[in-house]
Structure 1
Amino acid sequence: MSTYKLVWPHCQSRMRIRTSEGTHIFLRVAYLQCLNEACGWSVRAQFEMTHEMSPSGMANPEVRLPLADAALRRSAMKPVDTHQIPIQGLEAKQ
């Protein structure tokens, strides 16, 4: 399982979602806030579902998204960012 993470473009700090609301079955509006008190930036964002990467095993007939083409599905399979700083004590033992 992964956690969605955004980094602020101003101070490069992490952010938190203060509140969000669904406006459509495929669209969610969120209000975000920087965790760096010195920065204090806040913003409104929209998260939209645009393509189906693989069909659901429990399909709802009201859910109709275009199926992603092969190129889009391949781009989703790119390796995870390997430039992350390891958490102390959890580095791989050699």
Structure 2
Amino acid sequence: MSYKLVCPHCHSSLRIRTSEGQHIFLRLAYLQCTNEACGWSVRAEFQMTHELSPSGMPNPAVRLPLANAAIRRQAMKSADDQPDLLDQLEMETTSR
């Protein structure tokens, strides 16, 4: 499963042009809208925040808080239960 990033202006997909690691748990990414007429670009941060399950090969330097039950339940939801963000935005746009 992959996550689709969506332009909030034109609802086209965004692509990651480049990214750079800032920390073991933080990556900066520079995104660009794939719609040339829109051309929006943005900087984003992707951060690891909670451990859902322990690693089978733990690194002592990796220390994240264990996710609470609510976060783990959310992570366990099937992808089939959740509409794709792009599809959801398209449905909202057409219903206006």
Q: Which residue of 2 aligns with 1:61?
A: 60
TM-score w.r.t. the length of structure 1 is 0.83
One-letter identity of the residue aligned with 1:58: M
Change (3 A) 1:82 1:41: closer
Matched, 1:39 2:38: yes
Q: Which residue of 2 aligns with 1:87?
A: none
Structure with the larger RCO, 1 or 2 (CA within 8 Å, 6+ apart): 2
Report the RMSD for the aligned CA atoms in angstroms. 1.3
TM-score w.r.t. the length of structure 2 is 0.81
Residue 77 of structure 1 and its aligned partner are, at CA, apart by 1.6
- Separation in 2 of the partners of 1:82 and 1:22? 30
One-letter identity of the residue aligned with 1:49: M
Q: Which residue of 2 aligns with 1:28?
A: 27
Residue 17 of structure 1 and its aligned partner are, at CA, apart by 0.3
Q: Which residue of 2 aligns with 1:91?
A: none
One-letter identity of the residue aligned with 1:73: R
- Separation in 1 of the partners of 2:8 and 2:28? 19
Give the structure with the higher percent helix: 2
Q: Which is greater in Rg?
A: 1
Percentage of matched positions with identical amino acids? 72
Does the residue aligned with 2:19 lie in a helix, a strand or coil? strand
Query: How many equivalent residue pairs?
Result: 83
Matched, 1:12 2:8: no
- Separation in 2 of the partners of 1:5 and 1:45? 14
Q: Which residue of 1 aligns with 2:50?
A: 51
Change (3 A) 1:11 1:77: same
Moved segments of 4+, more than 3 Å = none
Residue 82 of structure 1 and its aligned partner are, at CA, apart by 4.5
